[in-house]
Structure 1
């Protein structure tokens, strides 16, 4: 991919909208991004059969694990990070600094490095009603992370009534674009 295009790290956790990530990569590329894809280990297992095509599409390996000490970094530096879909587990882990997966670890470092980070959840109303989830959203927002929860972003559904095809990817991509123009 071209080094002159801004680089978007697109991260996804294991929620149904991640199954449409190839389409989202193309949308981001159409918006002028060079896209590198990172997935939580469970999301990577869901997309196992598609990983070679996703690597061809992005031009980079799809990362879901930390590299070993001494191994080269295979991705260009990020200009922005979009973490969508973000599950309750991923959002809580990020807010609490529990970096057991590469995407959570990188997103946590992005906060400290000042790399614009946008997170859009994909949870239901039962999960968002858990007190830790709202504390995590507040913690991330206080750290400068743009969390797209509520009107204009992701509006949680009633358990069992999710509509992955209605996940607001356009809002997430627009917010990521705005983050680098600031």
Structure 2
């Protein structure tokens, strides 16, 4: 149990993943309990131990053994940042070959708010399957940021985390106070 709404943060392997702790900090300040779920490649790019200490929960990236309990509480919302070309296409096709995709596929029809921030090279976003898959996921209820939302305005600038936090904040449950 937590005192704050639970946000599953699915992290894919793209440059913003290496600084995902910055986003976690902002999300936690905004009132979320953050549970990080990483794709297998992203799991090798991030400091899983530091994120576990930061969030108070282990980073999930490998399947649980049969009978093993889920270390994360039930989600109130889901954020996929950065959402890569590979993950978005596999998700749209219902491919379930990683823990991250398994969770995304299970939650797709749950009614939970899900926000994804695509991060892919222009050459990949021009691929004929990409736009169709984004539209398919959007019809299933996925909300997207613009495709370049995470791109820094200049090479030395930071990622635009506040934009992501503001969009996620729209899904914070109303306070009972």
Q: Could you tell me the TM-score, scaled by structure 1's length?
A: 0.87
Residue-by-residue CA offset, 1:118-176 (whole Å, 9 max, x unaligned) = 000111211110011101100010001001124xx62779xxxx959553322222222
Unaligned runs of 5+ in 2: none
Unaligned runs of 5+ in 1: none
Contact 2:57 2:71 in 1 (8 A): yes
Match of 1:25 in 2: 24
Residue-by-residue CA offset, 1:30-86 (whole Å, 9 max, x unaligned) = 101111111100000112xx2111111111110012212211111011110000101
CA positional deviation for 1:180: 3.9
Task: Please identify runs of 4+ aligned residues in structure 1 that moved more than 4 A.
Answer: 162-166
1:176 equivalent to 2:168? Answer yes
Alignment of 1:73-88 (within 5 A): 73-88=70-85
Distance in 2 (CA, whole Å) between partners of 1:21 and 1:164 is: 17
How many pairs align?
173
The structure that is helix-richer by fraction is 1
Contact 2:117 2:150 in 1 (8 A): no
Contact 1:79 1:116 in 2 (8 A): yes
Would the alpha carbon gap of residues 125 and 17 (structure 1) be closer, same or farther in structure 2, given more than 3 Å must change? Answer: same
